[in-house]
């Protein structure tokens, strides 16, 4: 069988679906990936996946989008894939349209969180809903990473219930295991980042954009530093200057916290970064099923996140972490303060998060669901 996954960026292939492709490769399938060329294409190739670079922008660029569409149609016709699976909104629409034109026999789509959300302007909401509707007409089956998106997709008439499967989230629990980081190693990682042993480190992982709640996080830290002299913020993630809501490290100066924030930029050693944290925070406005929250929970770190779809499913409020309203810096600061002031409670939440991860966040479970959906659609027996 010949399988191809399509995304807008090679970063998405590398960090969202590479392990899924390798799972199918280990089971005898010929696996390919398509995305815009970038710094991760070579790593994808080295893993044993055939990588096809097709430039695609994340913005609406009609001429460039048409060129990308033509290239995708040519690629699909040449390679004759049995299954093509799409990710990310822009890549999914162009990929599904190209696969339909090229008559790829089986087409799947993973919805990693609908782009539209309640706080978005109506015109923008209608725009993204329209493209989701079009994509739904071009694919045979879809997966959602959270339950609310599946309910929304059915309610909006995009999919009949049998055409859309709740998948959940999954990570490699072998990598995200606190047992791999004993106290001495954890202390060494913290020192390498400039933190002292008696400091309380709050961590964030994500793109530096406003919709991730970064400005509220900075405002919360402005409030926290007046209460706790030892609190520090670790920000892990890349700049995303293509986005209109991009934020740079300079923004921390506006809140008077630049001296207590460490910006690492993009890091590949995410388990090590999480091991340095005492609390993990994701104050996002929009998510599918947040990978960083799963990773922090798997590492036994309590989580503070926002009451939005995906996040409220990944965290059990009061058990594995604390859920607060989005765009509310005061409530965010209060939640972190509660964990800072009660280490025993924070530790208990982290332990509960680890247990939840072991039972719910194993990526091999999601891989089996996807592979069996492929097999069922091809009329082949499912695997145990």
Hey, what domains does the chain have and what are their CATH numbers? 2-170+362-377 (3.40.50.2000), 178-360 (3.40.50.2000)
Task: Judge whether residue 268 has pLDDT over 90.
Answer: yes
Torsion of CA 87, 322, 350, 273, to 10 degrees: 50
Q: How many CB atoms lie within 10 A of CB 340?
A: 18
Distant-in-sequence, close-in-space partners of 113: CB < 8 Å, separation ≥ 6: 145, 146, 149, 286, 287, 288, 289, 309, 310
**In the predicted model, what is the mean pLDDT of residues 87-93?**
89
Residue 259: count other Cβ atoms within 10 Å of its Cβ: 9
218-231 mean pLDDT = 94
Residue whose token pair is 């460039």: 64
> In angstroms, rounded to a whole number, what is the distance separating the alpha carbons of residues 357 and 351?
10
Looking at residue 157, its pLDDT comes to 97
- Residue that the structure tokens 């994509």 belong to: 135
Taking all residues of the chain, what is their mean pLDDT, rounded to a whole number? 95
The structure tokens listed for 309 are 């779809």
Q: What is the pLDDT of residue 117?
A: 77
Whether residue 58 has pLDDT greater than 80: no
Strands 83-86 and 106-111: parallel
Q: How far is CA 27 from CA 16, 30, 167, 331, in A?
A: 19, 9, 21, 48
Report, as an integer, the average pLDDT of 170-174: 97
Among 20, 44, 35, 117, which Cα is nearest to 68's? 35
pLDDT bucket at 75, cuts 50 / 70 / 90: very high
Classify strands 30-36 and 50-53 as parallel, antiparallel or unpaired: parallel
pLDDT at 191 over 80: yes
Residue corresponding to tokens 């791999």: 180
**Token digits for 358?**
């072991």
Rounded distance between C-alpha atoms, residue 123 and residue 275, angstroms = 42
- pLDDT number for residue 89: 83
- Token couple for 206: 């994500």
Q: What is the CA radius of gyration of the chain?
A: 21
pLDDT band at 384 (very low <50, low <70, confident <90, very high): confident
Q: Residue 217: what pLDDT?
A: 98
Distances in whole angstroms, Cα of residue 323 to Cα of each of 147, 221, 288, 305: 18, 17, 16, 5
pLDDT band at 143 (very low <50, low <70, confident <90, very high): very high
- Would you say residue 119 has pLDDT above 90? no
Find the length of the chain.
384
- The arithmetic mean of pLDDT across residues 345-356, rounded, is 98
Q: Is the pLDDT of residue 261 over 90?
A: yes
- Per the structure block, which two tokens stand in for 42? 């070579």
pLDDT band of residue 180 (cuts 50, 70, 90) is very high
Q: What is the 3-class SS of the chain, one letter each residue?
A: CEEEEEEEEHHHHHHHHHHHHHHHHHCCCEEEEEEECCCCHHHHHHCCCEEEECCCCCCCCHHHHHHHHHHHHHHHHHHCCCEEEECCHHHHHHHHHHHHHCCCCEEEEEECCCCCCCCCCHHHHHHHHHHHHHHHCCCCEEEECCHHHHHHHHHCCCCCHHHEEECCCCECCCCCCHHHCCHHHHHHHHHHCCCCCCCEEEEEECCEEHHHCHHHHHHHHHHHHCCCCCEEEEEECCECCCCCCECCCCHHHHCCCHHHEEEEECCCCHHHHHHCCCEEEECCCCCCCCHHHHHHHHCCCCEEEECCCCHHHHCCECCCEEEECCCCHHHHHHHHHHHHHCHHHHHHHHHHHHHHHHHHCEHHHHHHHHHHHHHHHCCCCCCC
Give the lowest-confidence range in 61-65, 199-203, 286-290. 61-65
Residue 254: pLDDT band with limits 50, 70, 90: very high
CA angle 318, 284, 335 (to 5 degrees): 35
> 47, 105, 62: which is closest to 81 by C-alpha?
105
Query: Which two three-digit tokens encode residue 91?
Result: 């890549």
Closest by CA to 336, choosing from 286, 297, 283, is: 283
């Amino acid at each position: 069988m010949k399988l191809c996954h399509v995304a807008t960026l090679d970063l998405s292939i590398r960090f969202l679906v590479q392990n899924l492709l390798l799972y199918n490769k280990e089971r005898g399938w010929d696996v390919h990936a398509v995305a815009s060329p970038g710094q991760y294409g070579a790593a994808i190739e080295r893993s044993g996946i055939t990588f096809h670079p097709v430039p695609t922008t994340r913005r609406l660029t009609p001429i460039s989008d048409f060129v990308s569409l033509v290239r995708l149609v040519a690629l699909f016709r040449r390679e004759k894939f049995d299954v093509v699976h799409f990710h990310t909104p822009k890549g999914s629409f162009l990929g599904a349209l190209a696969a339909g034109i090229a008559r790829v026999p089986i087409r799947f789509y993973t919805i990693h969180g609908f782009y539209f959300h309640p706080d978005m302007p109506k015109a923008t909401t209608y725009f993204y809903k329209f493209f989701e509707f079009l994509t739904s007409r071009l694919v045979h089956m879809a997966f959602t990473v959270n339950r609310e998106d599946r309910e929304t997709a059915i309610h909006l008439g995009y999919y009949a219930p049998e055409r859309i499967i709740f998948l959940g989230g999954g990570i490699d629990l072998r990598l995200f295991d606190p047992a791999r980081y004993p106290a001495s190693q954890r202390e060494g990682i913290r020192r390498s980042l400039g933190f002292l042993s008696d400091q309380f480190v709050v961590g964030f992982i994500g793109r530096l954009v406003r919709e991730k709640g970064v400005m509220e996080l900075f405002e919360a830290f402005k409030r926290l530093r007046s209460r706790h002299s030892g609190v520090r913020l670790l920000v892990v993630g890349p700049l995303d200057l293509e986005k209109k809501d991009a934020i740079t490290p300079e923004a921390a100066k506006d809140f008077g916290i630049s001296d207590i924030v460490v910006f690492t930029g993009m890091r590949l050693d995410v388990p090590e970064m999480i091991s340095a944290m005492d609390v993990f925070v994701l104050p996002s406005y929009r998510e599918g099923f947040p990978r960083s929250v799963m990773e922090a929970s798997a590492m036994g770190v309590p989580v503070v996140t926002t009451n939005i779809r995906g996040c409220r499913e990944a965290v059990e409020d009061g058990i594995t972490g604390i859920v607060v309203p989005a765009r509310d810096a005061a409530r965010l600061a209060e939640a972190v303060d509660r964990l800072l002031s009660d280490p025993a409670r924070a530790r208990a939440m982290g332990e509960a998060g680890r247990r939840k991860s072991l039972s719910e966040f194993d990526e091999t479970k999601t891989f089996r669901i996807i592979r069996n959906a492929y097999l069922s659609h091809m009329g082949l027996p499912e695997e145990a």
